[in-house]
Structure 1
Amino acid sequence: MNRRLVNVFSAVCMFAAAAIGNAPEADAATRIMPPPGCGFVRLPQPVGELTARYFHCDDSFILIKFHWSGGNTGTSCVPPYHQRPFFRSDGQTVVNAYYVTTPPNLTGPPSDRRCALSQPRV
């Protein structure tokens, strides 16, 4: 089974188990499901400290730039078909995140590429 299929299957099982196993948490699981499209999504209501997510729906590594409510910015590498969660920090939340054309820094052999710990600032 390929890696993408395993990731998608795992996510579906996790959300289904949360909805079936714990009725009060069913509403929370619904709030963190992937949207019909891809990209940045603010959650209608925070789930704990989780306030937003960026969904990447392509077979490539990308770099995203995100903006905090206090004005700071950051960048993050997102692997193929993954999501990047954003959590509240010091009372601030991420208010926007978007793809930038700068390539991310990758590490590992060609058969097992991964996002490097250090990413370009844009």
Structure 2
Amino acid sequence: MGKTAHLTRRRALTCLAVIIAGIPMTIAESASAQVAKDGTCGFYFTNPDHNSATARYLHCGNSFILIQVDWSNGWHQRECVPPWYSVPFYPDGPHRVVNAYYVPVAPDLIDDGQHRICRTGQPQE
């Protein structure tokens, strides 16, 4: 094999190695990867111009959880959050979400044998 062919082969193998090394990162570029980049898990306020959401709750885990959501008018609700999911909170007229936090109660789920999803109604205290 000549020197040119050897260099071409070496460059091709190097490029292939870089591409293969990048495949897991591309595949892993999911919601969990997005969460891990900014490090914001749990409740936080957002810029209201960002899709009109004034706050979000980001669940950084592999399980379904239940959160309590507190509104500025004193109203409370519980909401199921899927694994690695971000829940946006939008204003309801003059009322805004002021806090959201994990509660140690198992959420109600639906399991069809292939998928698990949150039920519409959740335990409310």
The answer, yes or no, to whether TM exceeds 0.5 is yes
For 1:110 and 1:99, locate their aligned partners in 2 and report how far apart those are by CA, in whole Å.
27
Aligned counterpart for 2:67 among listed residues 49, 55, 64 = 64
> TM-score under structure 2 normalisation?
0.68
For 2:101 and 2:54, locate their aligned partners in 1 and report how far apart those are by CA, in whole Å.
16
Aligned to 1:46: 48
Note if 1:91 corresponds to 2:114.
no
For 1:36 and 1:118, locate their aligned partners in 2 and report how far apart those are by CA, in whole Å.
30
Larger Rg: 2
Once the 2 structures are TM-superposed, how far is the Cα of residue 90 of structure 1 from its aligned partner? 1.8
Report the identity percentage.
39
Which protein has the bigger strand share?
1
Q: In the TM superposition, what whole-angstrom CA distance separates every residue of 1:54-101 from its partner, at most 9, and x where no partner exists?
A: 000000000000100010001100000001100000210000000000
Aligned to 1:113: 116
On the 8 A contact 1:35/1:41 being kept in 2, the answer is no
In structure 2, the CA distance between the partners of 1:86 and 1:35, relative to structure 1 (3 Å rule), is: farther
| Number of aligned positions between the proteins | 97
Aligned to 1:8: 31
Q: CA RMSD in A?
A: 2.4
On the 8 A contact 1:53/1:84 being kept in 2, the answer is yes
Question: Mind listing any 5+ residue stretches in structure 1 that lack a counterpart?
Answer: 13-33
Once the 2 structures are TM-superposed, how far is the Cα of residue 38 of structure 1 from its aligned partner? 0.7
